[in-house]
Amino acid sequence: MPTTHVKTMHRPASDARCPSLRLLAAALLALPLAACLGGGGGSSNPEPEPEPEVRTPESIRLNLAGRYATGQYLVSAAEIPAYDPASKRAFVVNAQSGMADVLDMSTPSAPRRIDSLDASAVSPHAVVNSVSVNGGIVALAIEAETKTDPGHVAFYRADTLALLSHVEVGALPDMLTFTPDGRTVLVANEGEPSDDYGTDPEGSISIIDVSDITRPSVRTAGFSAWNGREAELRAAGVRIYGPGANAARDLEPEYIAVSPDGATAWASLQENNALAKIDIASATVTHILPLGYKDHGLEENALDASDEPAALDIAPRPGVLGMYQPDAIAAYQAVDGETYLVLANEGDARAWGEDDPAYWDGDAALGFVEEFRVKHLVHTNGFARRRGDDLPPQLDALAAGALLNPDVFGWCGARAGNPRACRDDEQLGRLKVTWTMGYRSDDNGAPVMFDAAGNPDPAGDRLMYDALYAFGGRSVSIRDANGTLVWDSGAQFERHLASDDCRVGPARDIPCKTFFNANHSSGDAFDNRSDDKGPEPEGVEIGRLGNKTFAFVGLERMGGVMVYDITNAKAPSFVDYYNTRADWTTANPGDALSAAGDLGPEGLKFIPAADAPDGKPLLLLSNEVSGTTAVLEIEQIFAP
């Protein structure tokens, strides 16, 4: 049976017995009120009336309640949602317009756009990156016209959309969030480099005091204190690897979670495969927490590593390690009273200058790309055959070719000096990995060189890869406040999506495997993301229903939302998967996407029943490819 809580609220006798006084409360506050006179006697201290009980569901299920469609496809017209319960408005970042769309949510089945928040008055040619709402105040993160310049955070009234104030923050402000008390806003200033990596601003977290919303003040938690400690951080497992970068320039905050008590925050450092732990009161980054690596050689961490031939092939791959590299993170208090973090392990590679032919022609000063296919990395003829195509010049300068350690990769046929079947498409050949990690190095980080036959040789020109590092964990994780892994979903995402029990479509009538590891922008893309990051979990949102806490995880490529009961952080359980994606196979996806459902979920927002327009808990899901914001009803299933 579900556990229920009954709360009691002590009302004054006058309020309980004289409804008219409630309507006149504002006028009567200044008057002495002794009693409410009337016949019939009765106690002057009646029993308090109980609030409606808060029931705990046995389970939940997602259903489509409504949808707002921008009619704009493949242009990121719906990215991050937020919600104001007082005005019953949703605010959705529209990257195509550079604004935030304002949606009337008073009828969840038919949300409609009523206006937009345009930040050009704050910064000309500005682009809105993220949005958060608290207490009737809307906060927008605003990117400067030149993304490496300082950005802004602006504050608006949710009901009138009036601009209240704005402040300057770091370069490329992205995700932002209020502390639970609403008095502070934190924003992740990602500080991405320019496309040619010529300018690389420092990453930081701005901490904005909004206790007086008309005069906000900013403090900055930066990473300069970690400069000079790069070797220490690398040894601990933090990736610091950008060209010529120190810690402050290389660490790039992506997403922020705040503890329930509002004292501590954590920022995901996605490319660095780490978290920054922040003391809010002192505006200080106190710890850089490496996240470690996922062993895809274990059965519970199996993956599909190839898109060619297109097939379901989820299997262990010894020697392949996954960098968790979370995007969205969230904090919550579990049943044991401890604070835990929930992380969507999307994965992300640095790829700057990839659209400049001069970079691929060998000019390393014009970019930096770390991604490379295994089949090209360990080809027996070396790297030169890929010059002018997809060979990063930094890798070309490091060595003439690379080998696989046969002691690690013997399972797929590797022998000294020859990868053999390991580089076949159906094995590891198609998998995209980072070339910056996994090769054998000395105590100073310099590569240990080998000859083409696989023998150690200081005069050799080959790298020896003892491990291959793939992007993302293809999972959701739970970690404690110090970044220690408590639980990971392992291979559950891919195995569920490949199972006969899984169904997609608004009516859940299409086999999930139809779109297994599929791209989010074409209808016949079965398995074409297995060589990249699989289903790509990107967004995560937490919702509490009764005594249970649930995590909602958006899958960017495959689409849809995975739901887990995370009440017990050490033993979460899978609850539901819902994806409105439908089937379409026309030659021009733009002509058919309007009938294809919601594609490319980017951001999620949980709306508890008490704040929802119709008294039912909801989940907003913004989808960057289809340009839609889906309103999902959270159906609560109670024990009989």
412 within 8 A of 405, measured Cβ to Cβ: no
* pLDDT over 60 (residue 324): yes
Q: Which residues contact 576 (CB under 8 A, 6 or more apart)?
A: 59, 60, 61, 62, 561, 562, 563
Measure CA 399 to chain center: 35
Backbone phi and psi for residue 377, each to the nearest 5 degrees, phi listed first: -65, -40
| Per-residue pLDDT tens over the stretch 625-639 | 999 999 999 999 999
* pLDDT over 70 (residue 591): no
Position 541, amino acid: E
- Listed in sequence order, the DSSP H helices in 290-350 are none
Give the strand pairing for 163-171 and 561-565. unpaired
Nearest to 280 by CA among 214, 334, 208, 229: 208
Give pTM, 2 decimals.
0.91
Verify cis geometry, omega within 30 degrees of 0, for the bond prior to 309. Answer: yes
pLDDT (average), residues 247-276: 98
* pLDDT over 60 (residue 383): yes
5 within 8 A of 52, measured Cβ to Cβ: no
Counting beta carbons within 10 angstroms of the beta carbon of residue 181, is it exposed (0 to 12), middle (13 to 18) or buried (19 or more)? exposed
| Per-residue pLDDT tens over the stretch 525-582 | 899 999 999 999 999 999 999 999 999 999 999 999 999 999 999 999 999 999 999 8
Report CA-CA distances (Å) from 469 to 174, 295, 375, 460, 633: 27, 10, 14, 23, 39
561-565: strand order across its sheet? 537-545, 548-555, 561-565, 573-578
| Per-residue pLDDT tens over the stretch 185-227 | 999 999 999 999 999 999 999 999 999 999 999 999 999 999 9
410 within 8 A of 418, measured Cβ to Cβ: no
Give the strand pairing for 339-345 and 468-471. unpaired
Residue 249 gets the label, from left (phi > 0), alpha (psi -120 to 50) or beta, of: alpha
Where do the structural domains in the chain lie, given as residue ranges? 59-291+326-348+472-637, 352-470
pLDDT (average), residues 265-291: 98
12-17's contacts with Cβ under 8 Å and 24+ in sequence apart are 13/44, 13/45, 13/46, 16/46, 16/49, 17/42, 17/46
* pLDDT over 60 (residue 34): no
Report CA-CA distances (Å) from 604 to 58, 235, 562, 600: 23, 35, 12, 12
Distance CA 119, CA 99 (A): 7
Distance CA 319, CA 466 (A): 7
pLDDT (average), residues 281-310: 98
396 within 8 A of 385, measured Cβ to Cβ: no
Tell me the fold of 59-291+326-348+472-637: Methylamine Dehydrogenase; Chain H (2.130.10)
Which pLDDT score is estimated for 171? 98
342 within 8 A of 540, measured Cβ to Cβ: yes
Distance CA 369, CA 243 (A): 10
Q: Which of 282-296, 338-352, 508-522 has the lowest mean pLDDT?
A: 508-522
Measure CA 379 to chain center: 35
pLDDT (average), residues 506-510: 93
Which pLDDT score is estimated for 523? 73
Which pLDDT score is estimated for 372? 98
Range with the largest mean pLDDT of 35-44, 199-208, 585-594: 199-208
Largest CA distance in the chain: 105
Nearest to 287 by CA among 250, 251, 316, 244: 251
* pLDDT over 50 (residue 19): no
Token pair belonging to 536: 């790509």
Q: Rounded to 5 degrees, what angle do the CA atoms 336, 339, 342 make?
A: 110
Give strand ranges (E) for 118-159: 127-134, 137-143, 150-157
Give strand ranges (E) for 172-232: 173-178, 184-189, 204-209, 217-222
* pLDDT over 60 (residue 428): yes
Token pair belonging to 581: 């994606």
Q: Which of 48-52, 252-256, 289-293, 348-352 has the lowest mean pLDDT?
A: 48-52
Counting beta carbons within 10 angstroms of the beta carbon of residue 211, is it exposed (0 to 12), middle (13 to 18) or buried (19 or more)? exposed
Which pLDDT score is estimated for 47? 66
Distance CA 89, CA 178 (A): 18
